């Protein structure tokens, strides 16, 4: 089951369904209605669109007593509290629950609230968004899931290997990591830095892909993230953060924008807490000065700890 059928969850569900896997999407509103009527269409930059007819998409109320072996949680971090009962209802004792959202603390939060479940930490490398009801768009072909605990674990190893094999069969790269907090931070480096620049100046990928002030600020933010990483003991090299993030940036379709921009323009809840404020808080806890991040965070309402 995939909870949340937007850019991330919709693409996971579509790839799995195209690979003939048994996957159910939890969705709502016009998006759910469109999927039930016409299926789910995927548009990938540089590729021919495809549509999954008859994809299993239901509302939370339609779940009934179904239990699932794997549950991917792909909602925004601010919605986690609202889906706790849904997660608990959909799981049996050995269900693997994998949150893959823009948050360093999502797994910890879910483990605290649902202590009887097998909940991992995770992140995903993908650039997708809900482009229309019944349609998700992917802005490049990067598609990789990283999940795990901050330790080696043999727990649920058989189930994990089956899941990983099925994901790979469907074109989704996946790996288990015993340093998952570092992996999540590494992923957040691109997402956070891009969102910060794009939302602050209201720019799209093309504006950051060419030399100039926006690209320079993006690279400056990546350096501040490296300083945080070093102080927090995440063991990420400067090039791991900078080069990989610039590579992702330059692979995007030129019209790509951050989801926080769309949410701000539509007056919806947004991820400024996870993408901006939490980064500055982490810097403050580790006594790292991040002047550019602080400036942008304060613009969006951040209040320093001191």
What are the two backbone dihedrals, phi and then psi, of residue 289, each rounded to the nearest 5 degrees?
-85, 125
Q: How far apart are CA 116 and CA 114, in angstroms?
A: 6
Mean pLDDT of the chain: 94
Out of 123-132, 145-154, 283-292, give the one with best mean pLDDT. Answer: 283-292
Confidence category of residue 305, pLDDT binned at 50, 70, 90: low
What is the distance, to the nearest Å, from the Cα of residue 130 to the centroid of all Cα atoms in its chain?
A: 14
Q: How far apart are CA 114 and CA 132, in angstroms?
A: 33
Confidence category of residue 150, pLDDT binned at 50, 70, 90: confident
Longest dimension (CA), the chain: 55
Judge whether residue 33 has pLDDT over 90.
yes
The whole-number average pLDDT for the span 36-64 is 94
Confidence category of residue 306, pLDDT binned at 50, 70, 90: low
CATH of domain 182-299: 1.10.1040.10
Residue 228, helix vs strand vs coil: helix
Tell me what pLDDT residue 286 has: 96
Tell me what pLDDT residue 71 has: 98
Domain boundaries, the chain: 2-178, 182-299
Q: How far apart are CA 212 and CA 151, in angstroms?
A: 42
Judge whether residue 228 has pLDDT over 90.
yes
Q: How far apart are CA 79 and CA 88, in angstroms?
A: 15
Helix (H) or strand (E) run with residue 109 in it: helix 106-113
Tens digit of each residue's pLDDT (9 = 90 or more) over 259-303? 899 899 999 999 999 999 999 999 999 999 999 999 999 999 999
Beta bridge partners of 42: 50, 136
Tell me what pLDDT residue 142 has: 85
Beta bridge partners of 292: none
Tens digit of each residue's pLDDT (9 = 90 or more) over 54-66? 999 999 999 999 9
Fold of 2-178: Rossmann fold (3.40.50)
Q: How far apart are CA 68 and CA 96, in angstroms?
A: 9
Q: How far apart are CA 258 and CA 250, in angstroms?
A: 15
Q: How far apart are CA 38 and CA 33, in angstroms?
A: 9
Contacts of 115 (CB under 8 A, 6+ apart): none
Tell me what pLDDT residue 46 has: 84
Q: Count of CB atoms within 10 A of residue 145's CB?
A: 22
Tell me what pLDDT residue 155 has: 78
Residue 148, helix vs strand vs coil: strand
Q: Count of CB atoms within 10 A of residue 158's CB?
A: 9
Judge whether residue 154 has pLDDT over 90.
no
Confidence category of residue 214, pLDDT binned at 50, 70, 90: very high
Contact, 88 vs 279, CB < 8 A?
no
This prediction has a pTM of: 0.89
Q: How far apart are CA 160 and CA 114, in angstroms?
A: 20
Buried b (16+ CB within 10 A) or exposed e, 243-261: ebbbebbebbbeebbbbbb
The whole-number average pLDDT for the span 237-265 is 91
More confident residue, 157 or 194: 194
Strand arrangement, sheet containing 121-125: 121-125, 144-148, 173-177
% of the chain beyond a pLDDT of 70:
99
Q: Rounded to a whole number, what is the distance in angstroms from the first to the last CA of the chain?
A: 43
The whole-number average pLDDT for the span 75-98 is 95
Beta bridge partners of 164: none
Q: Where does 126-199 show beta strands of DSSP type E?
A: 128-132, 135-138, 144-148, 173-177
Confidence category of residue 139, pLDDT binned at 50, 70, 90: confident
């Amino acid at each position: 089951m995939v909870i949340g059928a937007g850019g991330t969850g919709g693409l996971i569900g579509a790839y799995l369904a195209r690979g003939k896997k048994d996957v159910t999407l939890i969705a709502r509103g016009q998006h759910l209605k469109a999927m039930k009527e016409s299926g789910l269409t995927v548009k990938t930059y540089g590729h021919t669109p495809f549509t999954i007819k008859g994809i299993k998409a239901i509302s939370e109320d339609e779940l009934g007593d179904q239990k699932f072996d794997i549950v991917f949680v792909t909602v925004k971090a601010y919605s986690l509290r609202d889906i706790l009962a849904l997660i608990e209802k959909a799981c049996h004792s050995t269900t693997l629950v994998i949150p893959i959202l823009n948050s360093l603390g999502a797994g910890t939060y879910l483990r605290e609230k649902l202590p009887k479940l097998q909940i991992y930490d995770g992140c995903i490398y993908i650039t997708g968004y809900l482009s229309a009801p019944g349609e998700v768009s992917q802005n490049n072909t990067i598609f990789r899931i990283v999940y795990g605990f901050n330790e080696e674990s043999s727990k649920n190893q058989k189930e994990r290997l089956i899941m990983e094999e099925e994901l790979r069969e469907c074109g989704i790269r996946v790996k288990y990591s015993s340093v998952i907090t570092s992996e999540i931070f590494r992923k957040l480096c691109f997402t956070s830095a891009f969102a910060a620049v794009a939302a602050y100046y209201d720019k799209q990928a093309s504006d950051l892909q060419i030399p100039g002030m926006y690209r320079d600020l993006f690279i400056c933010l990546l350096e501040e993230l490296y300083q945080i990483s070093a102080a927090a003991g995440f063991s990420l090299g400067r090039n791991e953060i900078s080069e990989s993030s610039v590579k992702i940036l330059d692979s995007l379709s030129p019209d790509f924008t951050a989801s926080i921009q769309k949410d701000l323009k539509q007056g919806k809840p947004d991820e400024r807490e996870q993408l901006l404020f939490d980064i500055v808080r982490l810097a403050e806890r580790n006594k790292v000065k991040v002047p550019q991040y602080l400036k942008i965070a304060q613009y969006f309402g951040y209040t320093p700890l001191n």
